[in-house]
Amino acid sequence: MKSILMISLHGYVGANPELGKPDTGGQVVYVLELAERFSRLGKRVDLVTRQFEDQPEYDNVHENYSVWRIPFGGKKFIRKEDMHDHLKAFVTNTLAAIKKENKKYDVVYSHYWDAGWAGQKIAEELGISHVHTPHSLGWWKQHSMGSDMDEKEMEKTYRFKERIRKEYFVYQMCNHIVATTLPQVDLLTQQYDVLSRNCTMIPPGIDENRFYPVPTKENDKIRVKYDIQPTDILALGRMAHNKGYDLLIKALPTVFELCPEARLVAAIGGDQSEQDDKGVAGLKKLAGELGVLDRITWKNYIADEDLANVYRAANIFAMPSRYEPFGMVAIEAMACGTPSVVTVHGGLYDLIDFGNQALFADPHRPTEFGAMMAMPLLYPKMRNELSVEGARFARRNFGWTGIAKRMLRVFTSSINQNTMESNLFY
């Protein structure tokens, strides 16, 4: 295997991604890190995405790796839920561009249902293997949202029926699925009829060169720079319903009852996004109603170069998601030596040793989640234990180079199987 065609369609994908913009977060980081590590390991990588706004056709990272943008769907941003309407155009345009450029690939590796559907069509046309990573599952997202939204409004917003139908097609037809968590594997086999032999669990990774602990004196200086106090709790990420920031705010009265000196640092939302601004305004309104607004410091989007230091500066990192396919932000925080309290509604929950590597709780029970956030503040010995063991756990198990090597073994196996099947007909 020499050449990989990676596909990730929605959001702002680039060699220097505009993280925090709509639909541009953990999945983009995941895709870019793997593309980089594949190229370091000697593979030729084209990461294909959508060209829109004023983006260039290519970001030529180096001789082994390029981001290649294919135009479709016009010049304006298209949210991932509406990619249904444009995927056929992407497939046609991509195949034409591949033929024009005389490019050859050994495997297609797609991400999320939109790229998965397109990637399957492209792989079939090229006669090569297709490996897919879902990142999240429509069935899980739909059922996790429960009664939080009217059914008709939910369908109008998220188009779950179309998504699940396309997901089923992709998961049945692709050569192999790489899930990021064990619960995903279970759901794929139970809800999408995936054969267990066609699915492998490989967790996401972290950049070991960015996310690591620093000495206390250095961290004191970092806290001054970012206006973060030693007793602060950090929440960080995109403004999205599934992230559960409203549930986090409902847990704060318990935290403040146990630890009056605590604050929440809420680095929530994107960069200049009206939708995110509206969501944050709703959170502030809720905080005011609960009497905790003056105990929250609101920060806008955190630049990528500042991210590790912001993690390090906090006493605790909180991930209160209603559902979370994995939770890379928590792994990044742990790698920086910051104890994390994670949701029980996600893949990371199944991997950690409670009380040793991290804490977990149900964010739907505010008192429970609040009590877990208070524990490291109340007991410094516990915090130190979580800091050291959490960083060891994150770095040993989630370094990107090791993850990429595991992925390449899956590709090779998939290609060999595809070749054997093709030889039956020739």
Q: How confident is the model at residue 325 (pLDDT cuts 50, 70, 90)?
A: confident
- Kind and range of the H or E element at 92? helix 87-101
Q: What is the mean pLDDT of residues 185-212?
A: 93
Render pLDDT for 208-238 as a digit per residue (tens, 0 to 9).
Answer: 889 999 999 999 999 999 999 999 999 998 8
On whether residue 211 sits in a domain, the answer given is no
| 88/270: higher pLDDT | 88
On whether residue 183 sits in a domain, the answer given is yes
Residues 254 and 389 in one domain: yes
Q: What is the mean pLDDT of residues 344-364?
A: 93
Residues 176 and 249 in one domain: no
Residues 116 and 151 in one domain: yes
**Is residue 153 scored above 90 in pLDDT?**
no
**Is residue 278 scored above 80 in pLDDT?**
yes
Share of the chain above pLDDT 70, in %: 97
Q: Which domain holds residue 413?
A: 3-205+400-423
On whether residue 413 sits in a domain, the answer given is yes
Residues 405 and 393 in one domain: no
Q: How confident is the model at residue 169 (pLDDT cuts 50, 70, 90)?
A: very high
Q: How confident is the model at residue 182 (pLDDT cuts 50, 70, 90)?
A: confident
Of the listed ranges 46-55, 208-217, 228-237, 412-421, the least confidently predicted one is: 412-421
**Is residue 115 scored above 90 in pLDDT?**
yes
On whether residue 260 sits in a domain, the answer given is yes
CATH number for the domain that contains residue 184: 3.40.50.2000
**Is residue 364 scored above 80 in pLDDT?**
yes
* Residue written as token pair 């135009």: 71
Q: What is the mean pLDDT of residues 280-295?
A: 96
**Is residue 140 scored above 70 in pLDDT?**
yes
Residues 196 and 326 in one domain: no
On whether residue 35 sits in a domain, the answer given is yes
**Is residue 97 scored above 90 in pLDDT?**
yes
Distance between CA atoms of 2 and 48, rounded to whole angstroms? 17
**pLDDT on residue 301:** 77
| 301/406: higher pLDDT | 406
Residues 104 and 136 in one domain: yes
- Mapping DSSP to helix (H, G, I), strand (E, B) and coil, where does residue 303 land? coil
Q: Nearest CA to 219 among 154, 297, 314? A: 314
Q: How confident is the model at residue 92 (pLDDT cuts 50, 70, 90)?
A: very high
Residues 57 and 173 in one domain: yes
On whether residue 155 sits in a domain, the answer given is yes
**From residue 23, how far is each of 83, 236, 320, 347, 373 by CA, in Å?**
12, 15, 19, 20, 28
**pLDDT on residue 183:** 84
Residues 361 and 375 in one domain: yes
Distance between CA atoms of 329 and 339, rounded to whole angstroms? 12
On whether residue 103 sits in a domain, the answer given is yes
Residues 248 and 116 in one domain: no
**Is residue 425 scored above 80 in pLDDT?**
no
Q: What is the mean pLDDT of residues 385-405?
A: 92
What's the number of domains the chain is made of?
2
Q: Nearest CA to 394 among 313, 336, 318? A: 336
Q: How confident is the model at residue 146 (pLDDT cuts 50, 70, 90)?
A: low
CB 320 within 8 A of CB 251: yes
On whether residue 210 sits in a domain, the answer given is no
Residues 247 and 336 in one domain: yes
Residues 13 and 132 in one domain: yes
Q: What is the mean pLDDT of residues 161-183?
A: 95
**From residue 163, how far is each of 83, 85, 160, 395, 422 by CA, in Å?**
10, 12, 5, 34, 30
Residues 245 and 169 in one domain: no
Q: What is the mean pLDDT of residues 97-115?
A: 97
Q: What is the mean pLDDT of residues 337-351?
A: 92
Give the mean pLDDT of the chain: 93
| 238/244: higher pLDDT | 244
Q: What is the mean pLDDT of residues 341-359?
A: 92
